């Protein structure tokens, strides 16, 4: 992959070297500068278009940066199940994210998405997860995070990585009433923060203890992703 990039760079340098000779030979003197500017613009535009990632890159790459669970716009439905909103924000947001890192063999991005090299960087969502107001977190009515909000949320990510494919699970809600969690599985271009693939998934809650009970939603989403991933690859899901 790196070799291909270097080859393209060398080719671009060659183009820039021959353009002046090309222009002198075919254009009148007074129009050379104008033609040069036009040709340079075309070359740079083509380079930019080629550099932009597409949905197919999600499936063709073995390298992904996993940013974890984004709770910045999540809601927790059913006050009987979530009696301490401050503890959610100040403790459990980090607890659930660190669980995915510490037990990465269990919650395996490599396994469930068929990737070879996965870098974990939850610092981005740890920052974003400090933004919601405690008093807004727990509700007793239905809640939907609009799909159109997800690209705006990703645009706010301050990633240390400059390029590549990013993956974040943007949580919509955990519902005590429905005993499940809903989240957007979101692949994006790290450089441009453009969304490449976004799917809304629901996972059943379960298990012993508050932490594990809601962490099960992520595990069950991962299992569903493994089944759905080939369908997404074909553009049908």
What is the per-residue pLDDT for 52? 79
Q: Which among 178, 176, 175, 225 is positioned nearest to 200, based on CA atoms? A: 225
Task: Tell me what pLDDT residue 235 has.
Answer: 80
Mean pLDDT split into 10-residue runs, the chain, 237 residues = 35 48 54 57 42 87 97 98 98 98 97 96 98 98 97 97 97 98 98 97 97 98 96 80
Q: Do residues 163 and 63 make contact, with C-beta atoms less than 8 angstroms apart?
A: no
Q: Is the pTM of this model over 0.85?
A: no
- Give me the pLDDT at residue 237, please: 61
Residue 94 has a pLDDT of: 98
Structure tokens at 201: 């998934």
Identify which of 108, 74, 143 has the alpha carbon closest to the alpha carbon of residue 218.
108
């Amino acid at each position: 992959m790196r070799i291909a990039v270097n080859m393209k760079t060398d080719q671009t340098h060659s183009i820039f070297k021959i353009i002046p000779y090309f222009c002198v030979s075919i254009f009148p003197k007074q129009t050379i500068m104008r033609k040069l500017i036009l040709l340079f613009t075309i070359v740079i535009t083509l380079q930019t278009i080629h550099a932009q990632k597409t949905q197919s890159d999600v499936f063709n790459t073995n390298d992904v940066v996993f940013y974890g669970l984004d709770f910045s716009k999540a809601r927790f439905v059913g006050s009987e199940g979530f009696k301490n909103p401050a503890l959610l924000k100040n403790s459990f947001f980090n607890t659930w994210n660190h669980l995915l890192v510490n037990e990465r063999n269990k919650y395996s991005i490599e396994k469930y998405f068929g990737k070879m090299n996965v870098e974990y960087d939850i610092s981005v969502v740890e920052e974003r997860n400090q933004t919601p107001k405690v008093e807004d977190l727990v509700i007793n009515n239905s809640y939907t995070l609009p799909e159109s909000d997800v690209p705006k949320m990703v645009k706010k990510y301050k990633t240390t990585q400059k390029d590549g494919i990013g993956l974040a699970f943007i949580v919509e809600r955990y519902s005590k009433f429905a005993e499940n969690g809903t989240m957007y599985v979101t692949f994006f271009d790290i450089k441009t923060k453009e969304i490449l693939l976004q799917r809304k998934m629901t996972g059943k809650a379960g298990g012993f203890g508050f932490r594990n009970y809601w962490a099960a939603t992520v595990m069950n989403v991962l299992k569903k992703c493994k089944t759905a991933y080939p369908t997404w690859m074909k553009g049908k899901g």
